[in-house]
């Protein structure tokens, strides 16, 4: 998706679709100018839809012929023949169904243009930003610190922004690092405001090893260009000292004492205001390092939270921490909008918060529950070997869903409407005239929200703000950070507060799955809410992604297992009511059943092992009849698949390389992580065995002197895991099958043997990134494809010599 938007002083977008509105236009109709939505009706998208329907027609004709042929063969065949034909048709039907579920929701993509300048600053609503972290060993404190600093330096009124940090491990190290960040923010935030620097993450701005933007005089957005170089040197020196202090905390006396309140799974709850809320009027500052006489030095409030954990209690992982943040923020700031960021996702575009608010406050925005930003990453290898950028999902699937009921919530970089998290119905589905009274009735039910009177009062206020007139969200709610409010917030994060309530079922983030994000977004869509997709230029947020094969497979395993958990829960898309758009239902169904593909794919990929074991190639004839009709259908299906892929790449704006990387890693995942997820969920459903949660390790911030080899060292590290076994077996079987076919000259035995060899090659080429991962550092100089070509050349020479000797 290509979203463009106009900023205060500088055009950040790569291209502008619209001219900046005049002052008269702004005052005449502000709402209509916040966001302009245009359906994509280009020739490319029309051809794309046509080719999708053409391929669907071919599918229908193919399966009609395929089933009739199978019935004829099965009636006179053996038990083995019946089993092979049944498996083959079942697999083909499943693959066709998954393709249909993937393509149909993409048929109505839209393009949005956001006008940030049309939203005047007094109309900006208050906002709470949630940052979550758990383990300082896997999520380095310096990464969390940079995320917090980027939030505090965002272009948003400091008195309307509050940053909440959830330390779910209760580590003193994390608390001290956040406190140091709050102190450094008093220098960093005014520096960013004075010079308009981008990005406002110190690590990304200062360190040459990380992608940063070079500022020229023409692009400068600040107030004093001659002072930039001097101020930059001074602030960078202070940041280097901050890095050293945090490294000392990590390696020094604080680390052994990091569980000062207990252990990671057994500690008391803490809520601490590290930076109090600023006043509503700008404050000019005085500093020994910088000239801040004309700069607003206010810093937004920062609150540290550690929820209580006790042995024997179920804490619901990240979803439980998010719900604790939701209650804590309700009694302190109670902002109508909430931004959710992982500790490694920093604000890359200082205007991103304003852009998200525009989508919430636009005409019809009162029915928008959340705004999802695409996930972009730093530190990914240039070739993106394991498809970490996931462009096909973010720039194709999410873009297509934006034209229906909205994109799927995917964990981080998402802005929420607080009322939607409280199980309120959207204005579109409420009884006429009964908005506020219905909200008050819901809020008074202590058996749903808990027994805290202050919290119930905050819920009433939040639901009262969500009327049919959405501009009332700009009303600044009362904020209280005094001792009584902090004490109440501490009580709200106790591990027993949610007992006998519907938290995690109907309110807040949803429990019962390791992918609480998808389940939470689904519940909102099921109630009739919409969501919106917001892709800005530059990227709104950037984070880190696992570039090591083992870490990436464990990440995919968690996603796949969580999806299957949702399918076997009350949040199954098939059970949703009439408020869910039919194509949105198909998208959620696809999101929750895709791991089952591994069952059929593994069977198909392991078929070449049959002739290797039986020493007979005739086994393939039962599944691939060498008829002209079959060859014609295969050619038509492959041709239309290629055309759909090319057209999809054209209208979405991704590259063919990104699409191909996605296809390759889909094969790697489907033969490894998806299969393991099916086994895990089967054990959970049948025996009640809970799925183990493994936190994804975040990359440590690169040192200033780190080179390319150091940055991508994890890419070449080989860490064995059982997830690699099935994929390695599939790769070995298909390579040996190809070698045996060449050596025995099977290509002369008819179309079935040729198709078998083509399928072997298709599998091997798709598993090329996996082979590179297994080779480790050898992959820098030796390519698996090169080795394969050399091997085939040697076999061919041996075969030719054998013929001459006969």
- Annotation: binding site for Mn(2+): 318, 342
- Neighbouring C-beta atoms of residue 616, cutoff 10 Å: 10
DSSP 503: B
CA dihedral 70, 72, 77, 80 (to 10 degrees): 10
Return d(Cα 553, Cα 664) in angstroms, integer: 13
Please provide the distance, in angstroms rounded to a whole number, between the alpha carbons at the two ends of the chain. 63
Q: Which residues are annotated as a binding site?
A: 138-139, 168, 318, 342
Identify the bridge partners of residue 267 per DSSP, sorted by sequence position.
262, 309
> What are the C-alpha distances in Å from 299 to residues 143, 330, 340, 698?
20, 20, 20, 27
> What are the C-alpha distances in Å from 573 to residues 210, 552, 570, 676?
41, 27, 9, 23
- For 747-779, what is the HEC assignment? HHHCHHHHHHHHHHHHHHHHCHHHHHHHHHHHH
> What are the C-alpha distances in Å from 640 to residues 248, 601, 649?
59, 21, 14
Strand order in the sheet with 376-378: 346-347, 541-544, 376-378
Assign 303 to helix, strand or coil: strand
Active-site option among 517, 539, 551, 760:
517
CA dihedral 97, 98, 102, 104 (to 10 degrees): 0
Between 172-195 and 225-251, two packed helices, what is the crossing angle to 10 degrees?
Answer: 180
Identify the bridge partners of residue 133 per DSSP, sorted by sequence position.
167
- Side-chain half-sphere CA neighbours of 543 within 13 A: 22
In the residue annotation, 155 being an active-site residue is answered as: no
> What are the C-alpha distances in Å from 37 to residues 7, 32, 295, 540?
18, 10, 36, 19
In the residue annotation, 168 being an active-site residue is answered as: yes
Beta strands per DSSP E along 320-384:
337-342, 346-347, 368-372, 376-378
Q: Which residues are annotated as a binding site for UDP-alpha-D-glucose?
A: 138-139, 168
Q: Give the residue from 433, 411, 409 showing the smallest Cα distance to 529.
A: 409
- Side-chain half-sphere CA neighbours of 136 within 13 A: 26
Active-site option among 168, 231, 362, 435:
168
Q: Beta strands 346-347 and 376-378: pairing type?
A: unpaired
Return d(Cα 554, Cα 566) in angstroms, integer: 19
> What is the CA angle 576-579-580, rounded to 5?
60
- For 204-234, what is the HEC assignment? HHHCCCCCCCCCCCCCCCCCCHHHHHHHHHH
DSSP 645: H
* Structural Rg of the chain based on CA atoms: 28
Distance of alpha carbon 564 from the chain centroid: 17
Return d(Cα 160, Cα 333) in angstroms, integer: 9
Asked whether 201 and 378 are in contact (CB, 8 A), the reply is no
- Neighbouring C-beta atoms of residue 433, cutoff 10 Å: 9
Q: Give the residue from 766, 628, 635, 604 showing the smallest Cα distance to 92.
A: 604
Asked whether 752 and 621 are in contact (CB, 8 A), the reply is yes
Active site members: 168, 517
């Amino acid at each position: 998706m290509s979203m463009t938007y106009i900023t205060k002083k500088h055009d950040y977008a790569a291209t502008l679709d619209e001219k900046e509105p005049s002052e008269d236009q702004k005052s005449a109709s502000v709402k209509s100018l916040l966001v302009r939505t245009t359906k994509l009706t280009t020739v490319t998208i029309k051809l794309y839809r046509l080719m999708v329907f053409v391929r669907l027609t071919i599918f229908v004709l193919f399966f009609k012929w395929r089933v009739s042929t199978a019935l004829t063969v099965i009636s006179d065949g053996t038990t083995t023949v019946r089993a092979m034909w049944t498996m083959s048709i079942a697999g083909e039907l499943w693959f066709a169904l998954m393709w249909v579920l993937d393509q149909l929701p993409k048929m109505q993509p839209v393009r949005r243009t956001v006008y940030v300048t049309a939203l005047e600053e007094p109309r900006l609503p208050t906002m709470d930003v949630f940052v979550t972290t758990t383990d300082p060993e896997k999520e380095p404190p310096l990464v969390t610190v940079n995320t917090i600093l980027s939030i505090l330096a965002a272009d948003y009124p400091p008195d309307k922004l509050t940053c909440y940090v959830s330390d779910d491990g209760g580590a003193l190290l994390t608390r001290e690092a956040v406190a140091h960040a709050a102190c450094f923010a008093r220098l960093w935030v005014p520096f960013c405001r004075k010079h308009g620097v981008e990005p406002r993450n110190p690590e990304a701005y200062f360190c040459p090893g990380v992608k940063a933007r070079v500022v020229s005089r023409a692009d400068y957005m600040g107030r004093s260009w001659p002072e930039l170089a001097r101020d930059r040197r001074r602030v960078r020196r202070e940041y280097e000292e901050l890095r050293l202090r945090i490294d000392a905390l990590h390696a020094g006396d604080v680390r052994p004492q990091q569980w000062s309140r207990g252990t990671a799974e057994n500690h008391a709850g803490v809520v601490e205001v590290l930076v109090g809320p600023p006043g509503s009027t700008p404050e000019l500052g005085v500093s020994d390092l910088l000239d801040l006489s004309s700069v607003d030095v206010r810093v937004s409030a920062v609150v540290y939270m550690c929820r209580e954990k006790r042995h024997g209690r179920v804490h619901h992982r990240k979803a439980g921490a998010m719900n604790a943040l939701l209650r804590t923020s309700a009694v302190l700031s109670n902002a109508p909008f909430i931004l959710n960021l992982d500790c490694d996702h920093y604000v890359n575009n200082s205007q991103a918060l304003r852009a998200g608010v525009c989508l919430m406050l636009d005409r019809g925005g009162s029915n928008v529950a959340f705004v999802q930003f695409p996930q972009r990453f730093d530190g990914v290898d240039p070739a993106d070997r394991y498809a970490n950028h996931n462009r096909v999902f973010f720039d194709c699937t999410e873009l297509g869903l934006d034209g229906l009921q909205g994109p799927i919530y995917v964990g981080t970089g998402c802005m929420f409407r607080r009322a939607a998290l409280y199980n309120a119905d959207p204005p579109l589905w409420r009884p006429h005239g009964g908005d506020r009274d219905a909200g008050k009735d819901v809020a008074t039910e202590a058996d749903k929200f808990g027994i805290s009177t202050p919290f119930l009062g905050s819920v009433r206020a939040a639901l009262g703000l969500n009327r049919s007139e959405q501009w009332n969200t700009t009303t600044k709610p009362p904020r209280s950070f005094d001792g009584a409010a902090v004490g109440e917030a501490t009580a709200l994060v106790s591990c027993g507060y949610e007992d006998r309530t519907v938290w995690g079922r109907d309110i807040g983030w949803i429990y019962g799955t390791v992918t609480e994000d998808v389940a939470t977004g689904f519940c909102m869509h099921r109630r009739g809410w919409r969501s919106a997709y917001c892709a800005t230029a530059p990227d709104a947020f950037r984070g880190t992604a696992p570039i090591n094969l083992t870490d990436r497979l464990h990440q995919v395993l968690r996603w796949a297992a969580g999806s299957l958990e949702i399918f076997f829960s009350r949040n199954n898309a098939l059970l949703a009511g009439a408020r869910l758009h039919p194509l949105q239902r198909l998208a959620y169904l696809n999101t929750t059943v895709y791991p089952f593909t591994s069952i059929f794919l593994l069977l198909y990929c392991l078929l070449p092992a049959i002739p290797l074991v039986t020493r007979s190639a005739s086994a393939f004839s039962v599944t691939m009849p060498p008829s002209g009709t079959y060859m014609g259908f295969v050619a038509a299906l492959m041709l239309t698949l290629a055309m759909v892929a090319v057209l999809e790449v054209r209208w979405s704006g991704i590259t063919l390389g990104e699409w191909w990387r996605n296809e390759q890693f889909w094969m790697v995942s489907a033969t490894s992580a998806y299969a393991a997820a099916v086994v895990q969920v089967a054990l959970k459903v049948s025996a009640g065995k809970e799925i183990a949660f493994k936190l994804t390790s975040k990359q440590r911030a690169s040192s200033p002197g780190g080179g390319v080899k150091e940055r991508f060292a994890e890419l070449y590290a080989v860490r064995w895991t059982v997830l690699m076994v099935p994929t390695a077996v599939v790769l070995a079987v298909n390579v040996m099958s190809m070698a045996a076919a060449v050596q025995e000259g099977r290509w002369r035995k008819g179309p079935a043997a040729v198709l078998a060899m083509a399928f072997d090659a298709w599998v091997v080429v798709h598993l090329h990134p996996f082979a590179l991962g297994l080779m480790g550092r050898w992959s820098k100089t030796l390519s698996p494809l090169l080795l394969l070509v050399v091997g085939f050349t040697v076999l061919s020479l041996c075969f030719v010599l054998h013929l001459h000797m006969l």
